[in-house]
Amino acid sequence: MNGVGLSHKSRISKHSPDSRTASFGTTRHMLNLSSVSSIKKHESSLVGGLRNLNSSMHSQDMGNYKLGSGMQRNQERRLPLIVTDKFSVNSSITSSNNSTLKLNESIHRIHLLSHDEDVRTAWPSPKVSARTPSSNSQSSFIHVTEPTHIWDSLQIPISPATALKLFASSLTSYEQSEILEYNQIYWLGLKAKKFRADMGAPNYGFDDDRSDYKLVQGDHIAYRYEILQLLGKGSFGQVCKCYDHKKGDYVAVKIIRNQRRFHRQGKVEVRVLKHIIDHDYDDQGNMIHMLNYFQFRNHLVIAT
């Protein structure tokens, strides 16, 4: 054992300084190479990490830019909707306020009507009376006056337009078109049982078998004369007593028969009566004076 140890020590002691230096140099060179390679690996890893960090930051910036653009687009797209929603909310509030105001006005009108003794309707007449309800009833009953009462409240004459507006339901369809041919209306005969025009009958059904005009008591002649009663008939026509609502006087109205030969004879009679007026203007001859003559429903009419 000792021999082996001595020989080992002797081998170690036999190494020269140059061999030790060479071994140390080789070791340091190996250490340097390993350090350089590790440093290069570290640098490459650092560079790769920086690149990855830059790329991730760039992608994050792009994401933020896209996110910001998307948010801006969403805001731009949603902004009109928000304004529209606000406008619709404001409109709804305004409409609800208007509805509340109208409801309050209606309640106020109902309250006034319930306490007003003189109730008026939308009827375009100056005379509309009110009928008070019974004690057991809670509703108001409005009584509209008859057309004759409305007529009595008007200032005569009236225009055809006013007559149609107020009394169209009391006039026949023929009268509703005929009345437009007259400038002033003095009488309508609202209570009379008027003949309804028959388009297929001779003279629309206004004449009888003798071509005499069918007189209706209370009806009008030319919207001026009120027919009161028949005075007599003759070969040329008939005479009736009428009231002239324009002059305010009673007159005799002669209605010539609706035939051509009687029309010719009636024109001769008109010329004779006009001659009397021209030569007896002071009414000293005790003769009949013609007051008016005209054509009415194909009949020659002479008022005396």
**Higher confidence at residue 143 or residue 193?**
193
Question: Residue 42: which pLDDT band, with cuts at 50, 70 and 90?
Answer: low
What pLDDT score does 107 carry? 60
What pLDDT score does 130 carry? 37
What pLDDT score does 128 carry? 37
Give the model confidence (pLDDT) of 55-79 as tens digits. Answer: 666 665 565 555 555 555 555 554 4
What pLDDT score does 34 carry? 56
Give me the mean pLDDT over the 250-261 stretch.
Answer: 96
Query: Which residues make Cβ contacts (< 8 Å) with residue 255, sequence separation at least 6?
Result: 212, 213, 215, 221, 237, 238, 239, 240, 296, 299, 300, 301
What pLDDT score does 57 carry? 62
Question: Is 150:166 a contact under the CB 8 Å cutoff?
Answer: yes
Give me the mean pLDDT over the 151-179 stretch.
Answer: 94
The share of the chain scoring above pLDDT 70, in percent, equals 52
Give me the mean pLDDT over the 151-167 stretch.
Answer: 94
Question: Is 130:142 a contact under the CB 8 Å cutoff?
Answer: yes
If you search the block for the tokens 């009827």, which residue do you land on?
Answer: 123
Question: Is 136:158 a contact under the CB 8 Å cutoff?
Answer: no
Question: Is 153:126 a contact under the CB 8 Å cutoff?
Answer: yes
Residue 246 pLDDT more than 90? yes
What pLDDT score does 118 carry? 40
Residue 119 pLDDT more than 50? no
Report which secondary-structure segment, H or E, holds 87: helix 17-115
Question: Is 110:103 a contact under the CB 8 Å cutoff?
Answer: no
Give the model confidence (pLDDT) of 190-230 as tens digits. Answer: 999 998 898 889 899 999 999 999 999 999 999 999 999 99
- Return the DSSP state at 222: T
Question: Is 163:185 a contact under the CB 8 Å cutoff?
Answer: yes
- What domains are defined for the chain? 113-145 (no CATH), 147-303 (1.10.510.10)
What pLDDT score does 280 carry? 87
Question: Is 228:241 a contact under the CB 8 Å cutoff?
Answer: yes
First to last CA, the chain: 187
Give me the mean pLDDT over the 235-240 stretch.
Answer: 94
CA distances from 52 to 39, 58, 62, 64, 152 (A): 19, 10, 15, 18, 107
What pLDDT score does 109 carry? 60
Of 97, 115, 116, the residue nearest 105 (C-alpha)? 97
Query: Which residues make Cβ contacts (< 8 Å) with residue 212, sequence separation at least 6?
Result: 233, 237, 238, 255, 257, 258
Secondary structure (3-state) at 217: coil
What pLDDT score does 11 carry? 45
* Lowest-pLDDT range of 27-36, 167-176, 201-210: 27-36
Give me the mean pLDDT over the 30-45 stretch.
Answer: 59
Average pLDDT of the chain, as a whole number? 74
Residue 303 pLDDT more than 50? yes
Q: How many CB atoms lie within 10 A of CB 157?
A: 17
Q: What are phi and psi of 207, to 5 degrees?
A: -110, 155
**CA torsion through residues 89, 91, 96, 97, sign:** positive
What pLDDT score does 282 carry? 82
Residue 139 pLDDT more than 80? no
What pLDDT score does 8 carry? 44
* Alpha-carbon gap, residue 170 to 178, rounded angstroms: 14
* Lowest-pLDDT range of 9-13, 153-157, 241-245, 258-262: 9-13
